[in-house]
Amino acid sequence: MSFSSPLPDVSIPETSVYEYLFGSLTDADRDRPALVDGATGAITTYGGLVAQVDGVAGALAARGIGFGDVVGLHSPNVPAFAAVFHGILRSGASATTINALYTAQDIAKQLADSKAKALFTVSPLLPQAKAAAAQVGIPDELVIVLDGAERHPSLRDLLTEGVPAPQISFDPATHVAVLPYSSGTTGRPKGVMLTHRNLVANVAQIQSPMAISSDDKVLALLPFFHIYGMTVLLNAALHERASLVTMPKFDLVEFLRIISENKCSYVFIAPPVAVALAKHPLVDQYDLSSVRVVFSGAAPLDETLGGAVAQRLGCSVRQGYGMSEMSPVSHVIPFDGDDVPLDSVGYTVANMECKLVDAASGAEIAVPSEGVSEPGELWCKGPNIMLGYLGNAQATMETLDGDGFLHTGDIATVSANGVVTIVDRLKELIKYKGYQVPPAELEALLLSHPQIADAAVIGVRDDEGEEVPKAFVVKQPDVDLDEDAVIAFVADRVSPHKKVRVVEFIDAVPKSAAGKILRKDLRAMEAAKA
């Protein structure tokens, strides 16, 4: 039995991303701050941003780059990212955004797979970008360094050429706007083909429940190169004429300073940052009273942890769920959803249809008339669902079925009133003596321990070959905590089959740029010990 959003459907314009975000810009809007450089305080107005977007589009067109071409964008969160990203789309080309932490080999793989013809980067990342470009045959004159570098054009060079943006026309439902690459936590990274309509739809779908307004100053910490930052921060905030305050990387002191000095009102984070906001003593040294919403995504946020952040900051805490393949948001706790459990991901967004399917039998799971359903794999359908994976028909068929439903690979439940809760990844459930043990549940419990700063759980084999939960634990500074204490803490609070059986203390939990725990890295650590 499928279920749809309790939120009313929204109108989705048949237009490009550029027209949707900037086509209605008024004279008053043009003077509003669109982007604020968190490090320097430099301001880019909406009028200035649109001029830069048009300038980048014209410069690309002058180089013969446009419709049907792909351009790489390899940069942390700086104001120029917005101009280049939307300039690429404005030119008719497709943008493939590249993780700023990638090695030259990683970058080269993405450039080669996407068949990128040009690459934008920044000078601190130039060595690996240049090496990757050379490997795939992109010449130096098409490696544009935003802040300038010898033998490479800069963003200023492109903008001073003064070439007008090209006149282009395309079908927004079929023309690929962006090619983000899936995180690779469950296999080889794949290019996700998202159209202009996909991106426009998702901004329209989240507009009401997220309630970003033109009065908001939105902290842009989460990377724009990741679909979460791209849609939920960059595009959604610009559409609402809010101000984005950029941060190129996370540093707690700088994070707190930027929020305090810029009076940020909307703060998007991943759960590891929530741990710091809830527990770190430095937080009390800064005035964070301007914050009205902390929104968490990219990985599950525990209700206790979210509640601790809300209480400490005196703000609303919300979370959502999505995937690159869904542009990305499919579920969200609305801004006014005080009655929605924080350990859920809220309601299905407007214009979407979902269902839960038993992973073993393939049978659809009924939505209950009261209470909560049995768990099943979450399948989603809507205007924000990708076209497919670039050049990978087999992977596309394995993920998108003939009825248009995306098989998320995540196990979820749904309540009678439509609240969806993610239980865990289908492929990451630990099977202990036939019982399913969700790692995320144990990780959330471990994070509630006052002496634990961070934690991750995977399944490992014991001496008898049985898969058992193993916890990797990061201790708070200067605490006395041993393996037995951690095991006992969990055992007192879970069913016997869910108990942690092994504990290893580590310095840091490996995570993706979006904050997802890289359990594959932990498994590799285990394999190396064997």
Domain annotation covers residue 96: yes
Say if residue 375 is in the same domain as residue 441: no
Query: Which of the listed residues 143, 169, 195 is the one where a domain comes to its end?
Result: 169
In a domain, 486, yes or no: yes
Same domain, 487 and 401: no
Q: Is residue 137 domain-shared with residue 265, that is, in the same domain?
A: no
- What is the per-residue pLDDT for 360? 80
- Return all residues near 471 (Cβ < 8 A) that are at least 6 apart: 442, 446, 455, 456, 457, 486, 490, 500, 502, 503, 504
pLDDT digits (tens, 9 = 90+) for 246-264: 999 989 999 999 999 999 9
Q: What is the pLDDT of residue 27?
A: 95
Has residue 267 been placed in a domain? yes
215 with 124, same domain: the answer is no
Are residues 134 and 243 part of one domain?
no
Do 148 and 251 have their domain in common? Answer: no
Domain end (from 392, 426, 460): 426
In percent, how much of the chain has pLDDT > 70? 98
Lowest mean pLDDT segment, chosen from 184-188, 213-217, 294-298, 424-428: 184-188
- Residue 473: CATH number of its domain: 3.30.300.30
Query: In this structure, are 64 and 33 located in the same domain?
Result: yes
- 417 and 443 part of one domain: no
> Is 187 a domain residue?
no
- Cα 234 from Cα 305, distance rounded (Å): 26
Q: Is residue 240 part of a domain?
A: yes
Q: What is the pLDDT of residue 514?
A: 67
Decide which of 390, 405, 426 is a domain's last residue: 426
Identify the domain containing residue 516 by its residue range: 429-529
Is the pLDDT score of 15 beyond 70? yes
Of the listed ranges 102-111, 161-170, 180-189, 315-324, the least confidently predicted one is 180-189
Counted domains in the chain: 3
Residues 255/247, Cβ–Cβ less than 8 Å:
yes
In a domain, 181, yes or no: no
Indicate if 22 and 71 belong to the same structural domain.
yes
Q: How far is Cα 440 from Cα 517, in angstroms, rounded to an integer? A: 10
Does residue 155 share a domain with residue 93?
Answer: yes
Q: What is the pLDDT of residue 441?
A: 82
**Domain assignment of residue 196, yes or no:** no
Cβ of 168: how many Cβ atoms within 10 Å? 16
Q: What does the pLDDT read at residue 347?
A: 97
160 and 251 assigned to the same domain: no
Q: Are the beta carbons of 136 and 35 closer than 8 angstroms?
A: no
Instruction: Identify the pLDDT of residue 479.
Output: 93
DSSP-based three-state secondary structure for 127: helix
